[in-house]
């Protein structure tokens, strides 16, 4: 995990017919308008509300806990170590789900059945727009393109930065993004932005940070020609539009954050900061709202409850229809917010979701989480319940212990 001082993606139709009485039964169908005879068939069940787990049919907010005044106090225990950027991520793919545990990729169906695993990959991960390919790397700078259905490697592996690249000794790629046509990949580290071909081979570096004093954390391809970067060191120009042709800087917006989530309709961008969440218009970068991350600022062990001993990085995700936001707080609790203004709607029970590292939407009614205990969980229903839970993470190289 990370010390406190470092924490700075139905309709139902039915028809029914009244059966004619069998021949010779001695009964006849009542004349139209007689008001007598067999009762009309009941109407089919209405489709379930298109709402997230835990919300009632009216979508009203559920009773929320009192505002936290300090860290959540828990019994001493150990946690998987994660950096301040959040090392464990979950993605949706056509075949189901793909989880990155930093040192392992693990794919499952939406029913939880394992599909494939690939060790020593997962530092940075991005799924192609058609969902067929995933680009991933490791701390040594090895870069591979994989088939998301089978996990098979596509083409030859490449090298870009990391511990094994003498040509780029100061480069550690921490984020990827595919252009919308799937023909190019953007690779980002804190001070460098590279444009790669779809097979992972390098094309060129974009001159986005000539002074070398940047701290890029996330990239989103807005089109085949333009990129959105998050610059964590610049609170005045934290969101930056960049032309892929020459690296020219376009519009900017003030927000000091880390991760970006683009809505399914590509109209809104959700950004998380160390203590704030903000939603922006994707076309103009105008801010729609900004709110504090809900919940407690972390967890503290009972033996030393004066400050947060562990903190989680928030990983907000917009629902497919753009009406809700699921986000983990700094104590690992999972919250649901109204995407219109950031208002909290509910916090999920700890036995459903706790110590959450990342969350994804399968559809508007279904969430999938990964937690620090190494589990993948599918959550649905009202009240919210765990549909299935699978242990998934490898044994970590490092634990945080009290």
- Which residues of the chain are modeled with pLDDT < 50? 3-40
pLDDT tens-digit series, residues 307-334:
668 999 999 999 999 999 999 999 999 9
Structural fold of domain 120-254: Methylamine Dehydrogenase; Chain H (2.130.10)
pLDDT tens per residue, range 55-113: 988 777 788 999 999 999 999 899 999 988 889 999 999 999 999 999 999 999 999 99
pLDDT for residue 2 = 53
As a whole number of angstroms, the distance between CA 254 and CA 234 comes to 8
Question: What is the pLDDT at residue 47?
Answer: 53
- 3 state SS for the chain: CECHHHCCCCCCCCCCCCCCCCCCCCCCCCCCCCCCCCCCCCCCCCCCCCCCCCCCCCCCCCCCCCCCCCCEEECCCCEECCCCCCCCEEEEECCEEEEECCCEEEEECCCCCEEEEEECCCCCEEECCCCCEEEEECCCCEEEEEECCCCCECCCCEECCCCCCCCCCCCCCCEEEECCCCCEEEEECCCCEEEEECCCCEEEEECCCCCCCCCEEEEEECCCCEEEEEECCCCCCCEEEEECCCCCEEEEECCCEEEEEECCCCCEEEEEECCEEEEEECCCCCEEEEEECCCCCCEEEHHHCCCCCEECCCCCEECCCCCEEEEECCCCCEEEEECCCCCEEEECCCCCCCCEEEEEEEECCEEEEEECCCEEEEEECCCCEEEEEEECCCCCCCEECC
With helix as H, strand as E and coil as C, how does 125-162 read? EEECCCCCEEEEECCCCEEEEEECCCCCECCCCEECCC
The pLDDT score that the predictor gives to residue 52 is 96
**Do residues 125 and 176 touch, judged by C-beta distance below 8 A?**
yes
Residue 210 is predicted with a pLDDT of 85
* CATH architecture of the domain with residue range 48-87+267-402: Beta Barrel (2.40)
List the chain domain ranges.
48-87+267-402, 120-254
C-beta separation of 148 from 133 below 8 A: yes
Per-residue confidence (pLDDT) for residue 167, from 0 to 100: 85
């Amino acid at each position: 995990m990370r010390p406190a001082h470092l924490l700075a993606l139905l309709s139902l139709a039915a028809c029914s017919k009244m059966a004619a009485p069998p021949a010779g039964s001695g009964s006849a169908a009542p004349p139209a308008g007689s008001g007598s005879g067999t009762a009309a068939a009941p109407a089919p069940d209405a489709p379930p509300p298109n709402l997230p787990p835990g919300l009632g049919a009216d979508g009203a907010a559920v009773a929320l806990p009192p505002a936290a005044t300090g860290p959540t106090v828990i019994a001493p225990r150990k946690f998987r170590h994660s950096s301040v950027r959040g090392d464990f991520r979950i993605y949706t793919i056509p075949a189901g789900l793909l989880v990155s545990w930093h040192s392992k990729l693990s794919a499952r169906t939406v029913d939880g059945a394992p599909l494939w695993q690939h060790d020593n990959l997962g530092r940075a991960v991005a799924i192609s727009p058609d969902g067929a390919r995933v680009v991933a790397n490791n701390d040594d700078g090895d870069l591979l393109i994989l088939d998301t259905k089978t996990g098979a490697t596509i083409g030859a592996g490449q090298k870009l930065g990391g511990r094994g690249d003498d040509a780029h000794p100061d480069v550690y790629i921490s984020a990827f993004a595919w252009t919308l046509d799937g023909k190019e990949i953007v690779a980002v580290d804190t001070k460098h932005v590279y444009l790669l071909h779809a097979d992972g081979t390098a094309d060129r570096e974009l001159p986005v940070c000539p002074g070398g004093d940047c701290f890029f954390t996330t990239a989103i391809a807005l089109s085949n020609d333009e990129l959105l970067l998050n610059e964590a060191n610049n609170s005045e120009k934290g969101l930056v539009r960049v032309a892929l042709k020459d690296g020219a800087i376009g519009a900017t917006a003030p927000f000091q954050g880390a991760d970006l989530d683009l809505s399914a309709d590509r109209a809104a961008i959700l950004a998380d900061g160390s203590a704030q969440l903000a939603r922006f218009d994707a076309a103009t970068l105008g801010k729609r709202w900004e709110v504090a991350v809900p919940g407690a600022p972390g967890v503290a062990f009972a033996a030393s409850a004066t400050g947060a001993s562990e903190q989680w990085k928030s990983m907000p995700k917009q629902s497919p229809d753009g009406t809700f936001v699921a986000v983990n707080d700094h104590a690992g609790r999972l919250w649901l917010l109204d995407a219109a203004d950031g208002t909290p709607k509910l916090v999920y029970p700890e036995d459903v979701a706790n110590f959450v590292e990342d969350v994804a939407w399968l559809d508007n009614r279904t969430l999938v989480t990964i937690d620090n205990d190494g589990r993948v969980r599918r959550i649905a229903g009202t009240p919210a319940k765990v549909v299935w839970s699978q242990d998934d993470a490898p044994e970590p190289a490092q634990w945080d212990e009290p």
